[in-house]
């Protein structure tokens, strides 16, 4: 079983819609959590970190539930430019602090 | 100029050949990583290095070796390439203290025939 699991999608949503992605992790020693964005055939780039208290960056909101080992990303008012693959990333203290990636969730925002 | 560069960007090679993928960074980070990405499998860690004298195996190190020639350079070698090493390879760097943000190079597309 992979340590970080995501629904691969694809999620096809119209512009302006709200969409939510979920991610679960299995390593209880996980201590840092992130969402990365990857455009087709490009390198991943950090979208936002995820904190226990939840955090918001414009139209993007990330939540962490340590008890359930669950991370979410909410995108409001979707734009065409949000179309990408969203990668859930976890760092565990017992794995050398290397990033452990989920397989990604594909989002397509349509006009 | 890009902070993390990879060469070559694309490479086609034959089974059994030795190839080297190179990564250079100007960010001054101590930590460097090599990942491969395959469709349906996501990014997987091959090797990582926390400083010039430190090399660590990742999830899928078999068939690969690395060299950290300097703080700014981290090379990945395939001693004898095989077709299932066909993938997109990314180098990344991060700052210490847990490496919260990793900065990726543009990737190298490798095809092993």
Q: Do A99 and B102 touch (CB under 8 A)?
A: yes
CA distances from B59 to A42, A84, B97 (A): 22, 26, 21
CB A65 within 8 A of CB A19: no
Does the beta-carbon distance from A96 to B33 stay under 8 Å? no
Query: For testing the chain A interface, which of B27, B87, B102 should be mutated: the one with the most A CBs within 10 Å?
Result: B102
Report whether pLDDT(B92) > 60: yes
Interchain contact, A101 vs B44, CB within 8 Å: yes
Using alpha carbons, select from B76, B61, B64 the residue that is nearest to residue B24.
B76
Interface of B with A (CB under 8 A): 33, 35, 40-45, 48, 56, 58, 88, 90, 92, 98-102, 104-107
pLDDT tens for residues A10-65?
A: 999 999 999 999 999 988 778 789 999 999 889 999 999 898 888 999 999 999 99
* Cα–Cα distances in angstroms (integers) from residue B99 to residues A99, B38, B94, in the given order: 9, 23, 5
Across all residues in chain B, what is the average pLDDT? 92
Chain B interface, mutation test: which of A40, A98, A101, A105, most B Cβ atoms within 10 Å? A98
Find the CB nearest A97 among B42, B99, B106. Answer: B99
- Report DSSP letters for chain B, one per residue: --SEEEE-SEEEE-TT--EEEEEEESS--SEEEEEEEETTTEEEEEEEEEETTEEEE-TT-TT-EEEEEETTEEEEEESS--GGG-EEEEEEEE-SSS--SEEE---EEEEE-
Is A9 in CB contact (< 8 Å) with chain B? Answer: no
∠ at Cα B35 (B33, B37), nearest 5°?
160
Nearest chain A residue (CA) to B105: A43
pLDDT digits (tens, 9 = 90+) for B49-64: 988 999 999 989 999 9
pLDDT: which is higher, A7 or B64: B64
* Nearest CB to A32; choose among B56, B90, B98: B98
Among B58, B100, B104, whose Cβ lies nearest the Cβ of A43?
A: B104
Inter-chain residue contact A103 with B40, CB threshold 8 Å = yes
DSSP state of A64: E
Cβ within 8 Å, pair B42-A49:
no
Q: Answer with the residue of higher pLDDT: B74 or B53.
A: B74
User: Which of B4, B34, B37, B43 has the highest number of chain A CBs within 10 A, making it the mutation to test binding with A?
Assistant: B43
Beta strands (DSSP E) in chain A are 4-6, 11-14, 19-25, 30-38, 45-50, 55-57, 60-65, 70-75, 84-92, 99-101, 105-110
pLDDT tens column, A62-111: 999 999 999 999 999 999 999 999 999 998 766 666 788 999 999 999 99
pLDDT at A92: 76
């Amino acid at each position: 079983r992979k340590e970080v699991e995501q629904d691969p999608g694809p999620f096809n949503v119209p512009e302006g819609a709200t969409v939510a992605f979920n991610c679960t992790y299995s390593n209880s020693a996980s201590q840092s959590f992130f969402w990365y964005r990857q455009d087709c055939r490009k390198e991943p780039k950090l979208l936002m970190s995820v904190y226990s208290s939840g955090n918001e960056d414009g139209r993007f909101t990330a939540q962490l539930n340590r008890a359930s080992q669950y991370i979410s990303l909410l995108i409001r008012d979707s734009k065409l430019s949000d179309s990408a693959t969203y990668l859930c990333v976890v760092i565990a203290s017992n794995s050398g602090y290397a990033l452990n990636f989920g397989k990604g969730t594909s989002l397509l925002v349509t006009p | 100029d890009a902070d993390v560069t990879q060469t070559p960007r694309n490479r086609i090679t034959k089974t059994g050949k030795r190839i080297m993928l190179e990564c250079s960074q100007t960010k001054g980070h101590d930590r460097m990583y090599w990942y491969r990405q395959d469709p349906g499998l996501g990014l997987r860690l091959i090797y990582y290095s926390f400083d010039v004298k430190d090399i660590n195996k990742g999830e899928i190190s078999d068939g690969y070796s690395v060299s950290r020639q300097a703080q700014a350079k981290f090379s990945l070698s395939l001693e004898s390439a095989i077709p299932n090493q066909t993938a997109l390879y990314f180098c990344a760097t991060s700052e210490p203290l847990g490496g919260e943000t990793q900065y990726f190079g543009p990737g190298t597309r490798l095809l092993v025939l």
